[in-house]
Amino acid sequence: MLLTITTTHFPATDLGYLLHKNPARVQTFTLNFGKAHVFYPEATEERCTAALLLDVDPVGLSRSSSGARGSQPLEPYVNDRPYAASSFLSVAISQVFGSALGGRCKDRPELPAQSLPLTVRISALPCRGGGADLPERLFAPLGYEVAAEPHPLDPAFPEWGESAYFTVTLTGNLRLSDLLSHLYVLIPVLDNEKHYWVGDDEVDKLLRQGEGWLGAHPERELIVRRYLKYRHTLADEALARLVGDEEPEVLDEPGSETEIAAEGALTAAPDAAETPTITEESVAEPRVSLHNQRLEAVRDTLKAHGVRRVLDLGCGEGKLLRLLLKESAFTEICGMDVAHRSLQIAADRLHLDGMSERQRARLTLFQGSLIYRDKRLEGYDGAAIVEVIEHLDPSRLEAFERVVFEFARPGVVALTTPNAEYNVVYDTLSEGKMRHSDHRFEWTREEFQSWAGAVAARRGYTVTFAPIGPWDDAVGAPSQMAVFTLGTEAATN
């Protein structure tokens, strides 16, 4: 919430003309989230520093409510927004330093076009998701010398590690208006938090402020995605306009779905950490391909067994359902998930409302749980249970087993789970860690096969196993599938 701009241009006090703010005054501006103060800690002809200090009203922030959450407050009272550099700073730059940002200077019209030696210091700039070198990656290509000083979460608890906040110092020789437009765009990008002003005209604002530098920036994709966070279509549109005909690589941003799902979870102050949410994609796995391979393997297995009426247990946001719907062999498809919010997303993505009556009749979605016996699950030919069991506490597997194999009792069950042995292949995964923070366990091939074998024996199924994903002789494939078929081997033969 503090930004200082220093120049050693002679006379340095020209900075006052450029910013259109008198160095001999303390000025205060009222903005919709609080106040912005502008003053000069130093102002000599050799060296002049302007400070923009935000005074965000913490109570006002928490007491205003947003439409999306109904009566729920927008932000908790314990909140870094009053202290961290964020999109509020961008708003203040555009409103308080509007003419400088626009490259206009009434009294000294020649000044804005001049490159000046400038140093910017931003306090408590959150740099989230991207590593400590993110400020370097974003600012260095624009010609700055970058220094980022990290701050610990709490010096009294060194074991808690570093915070996300840095004091970032940028030094360069450039026009002030360029500097301000860089900050305008890149501060919220580094912060990577929700900002409150993403509307349709944001694309225009982004393109206007990014003119002349964003198109050629090596991190332009990350910048656009994060700047237009939570608005996929906007982001696609912006990228398309930036790169012309070049097709944007669509990369699902896992964070977005997580955020939405989190809102539905229980909200309570000190205990809220108990409810993380499941994203379909895990932290470590290279996404796109493996998950698709998994889904295709499951679909093919069910098809090969002649399944017509199929359950997708733990259907999530409906990726497998989409594949199943494309196959006319599946006459009845039922998706169940424990997360109501995921089902709503699935219904949206599959355009449930817009389906023809005939298509609509093939598909049923409902909320349910794999640890409660559910009569609605009885009488199906086959079931897919993709990446589900590892989200259950081991003590609940017994209930899961009974629900699926004793009561629902489909003819075929295709069940997948990660192969823990393969984790060593992922560089981003430190040793002993699991692929997803919600995984309660990850099994080796042997562990999985011994569990599945015992289930099959107890419940009168026959089980076979198949690897999914690229094979490695030492550790196998990243994912593993068990295919259970009803009836003992002797009976099948």
Name the one range near another protein by CB under 8 A: 349-357, 366-374, 428-436, 464-472: 366-374
Give the alpha-carbon dihedral of 421, 424, 428, 431, to 10 degrees. 90
How many residues interact with another protein (rule CB under 8 A)? Answer: 86
Question: In this structure, what token pair is assigned to residue 318?
Answer: 């409906």
Q: Phi and psi at residue 408, in whole multiples of 5°?
A: -65, -45
Angle in degrees, CA 239, 124, 47, rounded to 5:
95
Taking the complex as a whole, how short is the minimal distance between the CB of residue 48 and another protein, in angstroms? 12
Q: Which of 131, 244, 270, 432 binds another protein (CB under 8 A)?
A: 270
Q: DSSP string of 294-354?
A: HHHHHHHHHHHTT--EEEEET-TTSHHHHHHHT-TT--EEEEEES-HHHHHHHHHHTTGGG
Q: How many C-beta atoms surround the C-beta of residue 427 within 10 A?
A: 7
Kindly indicate which of the ranges 209-217, 398-406, 414-422, 450-458 contains the residues binding another protein, using the contact rule CB under 8 A. 398-406
Contact 417, 443 (CB under 8 A): yes
Residue 395 C-beta: closest distance to another protein, Å: 5
> What pairing do the DSSP bridges indicate for beta strands 412-418 and 363-367?
unpaired
Q: Which is nearer to another protein, 275 or 364 (CB)?
A: 275
One character per residue 149-178, x = contact with another protein (rule: CB under 8 A): --xxxx-xx-xxx-xxx-x-----------
The count of C-alpha atoms lying within 13 angstroms of the C-alpha of 322, restricted to the half-sphere facing its C-beta, is 14
Residue 30, amino acid:
T
Region binding another protein by CB under 8 A among candidate stretches 201-209, 241-249, 267-275, 355-363: 267-275
- Tell me: does residue 457 bind another protein (CB under 8 A): no
For the bound state, the minimum distance from the C-beta of residue 72 to another protein, rounded and expressed in Å, comes to 6
Q: Is 137 in the site for another protein (CB under 8 A)?
A: no
The count of C-alpha atoms lying within 13 angstroms of the C-alpha of 23, restricted to the half-sphere facing its C-beta, is 20
Which residue lies nearer to another protein by CB, 1 or 463? 1
43: contact with another protein by CB under 8 A: yes
Candidate list 26, 132, 329, 491; residue touching another protein; CB under 8 A = 26
429 interacts with another protein by CB under 8 A: no
At its nearest, how many Å lie between another protein and the CB of residue 237?
A: 33
Q: Which of 248, 264, 453, 470 binds another protein (CB under 8 A)?
A: 264
2 binds another protein (CB under 8 A): yes
Considering only 193, 219, 374, 472, the residue that binds another protein (CB under 8 A) is: 374
User: Between 178 and 257, whose beta carbon lies closer to another protein?
Assistant: 257
Residue 163, SS3? strand
Residues of span 180-199 touching another protein by CB under 8 A? none
* Rounded to 5°, angle at Cα 233 from 230 and 236: 105
Task: Compute the least distance from the CB of residue 267 to another protein, in Å.
Answer: 6
Strand order in the sheet with 116-126: 27-31, 34-43, 48-56, 2-7, 116-126, 162-174, 145-152
d(CA 380, CA 336): 13
Whole-angstrom distance, CA of residue 350 vs CA of residue 298: 19
Q: Under the phi-then-psi rule, with left for phi > 0, alpha for psi from -120 to 50, and beta for the rest, what region is 379?
A: left
Residues 234-263 binding another protein (CB under 8 A) are none
369 contributes a contact to another protein by CB under 8 A? yes
Instruction: Write out the DSSP string of 14-68.
Output: HHHHHHT--TT--EEEEETTEEEEEEEEEE-SS-EEEEEEEEE-HHHHHHSB-GG
**Nearest CA to 381 among 298, 491, 306, 484?**
306
**216, 240, 272, 288: which one contacts another protein (CB under 8 A)?**
272
Which residue among 16, 34, 112, 126 contacts another protein (CB under 8 A)?
126
Does 316 interact with another protein (rule: CB under 8 A)? Answer: no
Nearer to another protein, 84 or 420 (CB): 84
Taking CB under 8 A as the rule, which mask of x and - marks residues 65-104 in contact with another protein?
A: -----xxxx--xxxxx-xxxx-------------------
Dihedral angle, C-alpha 411, 417, 420, 422, nearest 10 °: 100
Q: Would you say 7 or 301 has its CB closer to another protein?
A: 7
Q: Which stretch binds another protein (CB under 8 A): 98-106, 111-119, 146-154, 350-358?
A: 146-154
| Residue 176 Cβ vs another protein, minimum distance, rounded to whole Å | 19
